[in-house]
Chain A
């Protein structure tokens, strides 16, 4: 068991554990916190995979923006959250649980069965990847970049218009 594997197992355990925690907690706020933990775990996995830039972006965007937003949303809708003993699941949760676990097993089976065309090159260089990514965005993948920017703009305007209090 190399160091890397140890770290991987650790990160995986953290992510999956907090994911389970998120799903099972009674109050949504705590669920949100567990979700943040999951984002942290995923960021760790990214860094482990050598995508340092992406890890930090993950932290910055998911934890810094989305999680905060969700927390805000939860706090702005207090009344329902008020009573902790409200049942947190709808009626169909046993069925869904079965389906989710079936899905998980199927996916895992799928993963194990297909032989992935592994690349033979050496380890990726952790540093300097941000520059290539930036270049990539600006040259070959200019269209997705522009589309994403337009999407963000539209989402921004949309959210403001919908959520604005008259």
Chain B
């Protein structure tokens, strides 16, 4: 007897609205599908109506946690279109903030993994230590999560020597804690029992389904945009692409923990070699890039993020396309939910762990949709009108 078990759109494992449609026999999953149609926000359409400068702040809100990746990607695209030269100091600072964002994203992910398997102590401690990164972010950029730091032509604020020193010393303290979590991932029996061999995605499947980010790297695919397509100063900063071959959730956790450690070193390197100069090129408020198109790719904490922009010479883009890493990993997720490893089936208890392991972020684009039942017409209403109750 198989029963249909819908997980979501409201479920404690994930605050975002997404539905996993599972077919379950006893404790085993026999079939799976995913439905993400609950939260489409139409950001791509709205971006066509905003100027290039305004669009940056909307692109930032595509995803709260990886907002730095989105603004980096957006800014690079517009800078390439408009031919803006970014000062080198700004590139260093972009890298610093991007890696800080990666750190807090990965630590958030670790705590969520702990939460999913009911390990609340690790959840609390990882959240506690993540605060250190957020405090740094606030001091550098002015915002704890939404940074509004990258702008077209550079970054907004400078980092002086005292702050740079503070960042380095805080991260040194954090490093010890992160190493503690790494030890925990290696030693804690239950943590390992719940994550090893769970969410199996073979290397060949990871390539076939074009998985990105830690999901791909834990399956032995050494794909990291920072290494393949250096977009800031990644060709100067030494770092390792972390690859594990375990193909399971445990590997994904290890990839992320190791990346946090790599990030600390990258930030230190960039801050110690901060070149002198401006942090922002002069850019007019109304940018009118020449007609053309551009593709920018950024390694967001969740994986490869790709933005495509098309300009027709006006102050607004003709088309702005965003492909978020979660979308790229969705196909891999369905595959992981459906097939276990060899003779080991996927259990219901594994589903939240597998789902969490891709670090899902179902947000895509923001408009409120109102449907007028009486007239049967569809009218989209901007947030501003809804707020005022019109």
A complexed with B: no
